[in-house]
Structure 1
Amino acid sequence: MSKKIAVVVTDMFEDSEYTGPADAFKEAGHEVVNIEKEKGKTVKGKQGDAEVSIDLSIDDAKASDFDALLIPGGFSPDQLRDDERFVKFAKSFMDDKKPVFAICHGPQLLITSKTLEGRDATGYNSIKVDMEYAGAKYADKEVVVCQNQLVTSRTPDDIPAFNREALKLLSE
């Protein structure tokens, strides 16, 4: 069954952490909807390899319209967590126990939404302490799946494992 996946993304995202999962989701028949502050805008990855066209403004996005959330890493999550609209959007997915896929620095948005307490998770090494302060049980593993809902990974090298586990959750 096809799922509708929200992707919160802005400039300076980690290119492969968007393209790897988004391409895998689309290949599996899922719909990927890119969300940023401004609909129609094009955001660019920090490596200069990917450009993403924004489908929906955060002002028009409702978590209830989506089955899952993807948060690519890079500098994007740190910028997005400065905007309460994105924090509330991410929190809704966690609170409603919908699948959330966060890679590298992606968990920063979950730290700010205060939804990692007691959760098994991983992320880029530089945010390990932040995740622990937020109450996460940090594991230095390529992929961590928590409560059949939250999938986290550390770096672009972990994308194959990240995609495998995310697609498993989407098929349930």
Structure 2
Amino acid sequence: MTTATATRTATPATDKQKIFFDNLLAEREHHLTPETIALIKAKASSTDMRGLIDELLKAPHKPMQSTNMPEPGIYKRDGQIYELKQNRHTGVLKVSRIEVFGTRVRRRATVLRARVFTTADKITLDDASGFGREYGICCCCFRLLTDPISVRDGIGPVCKAKYFPGL
């Protein structure tokens, strides 16, 4: 009688695991060098990444630096539009990924944390106008653009004055 031996191949770490790993590296104290981090992200299996994430979750938080926290607003990162909105009860910034379906906007939860956004990620007037022209929706308040001038500019006059003063 012959027995078949099954060889188990390791499943690579998922994109969500890698993003969560990056977020934890940014907020927790650790001893990993950039070279080690790059190697882990390139070669780690899902099981290995789970173990590393568990270890990072046990690590103490880095001291908070208020200058690193972005302000609430609209950000663009990796071609996606995100809204950072402050919770009125806790004051914590919540990150939502914006998805457009026709003339409807949906805010989707994301694994990204507010601290990964920088001022360089803040949406520009050109990006906001392009979004508005493409979808017919204001990128700042997510309302339907109906005024011909607003449709042409891709952004409403109130949002333009509020989010891009002096332009």
In the superposition, the TM-score normalised over structure 2's length comes to: 0.23
Greater C-alpha Rg: 2
In the superposition, the TM-score normalised over structure 1's length comes to: 0.23
- Which has a greater percent of strand? 1
Q: Which has the higher contact order (CA 8 A, sep 6+)?
A: 1
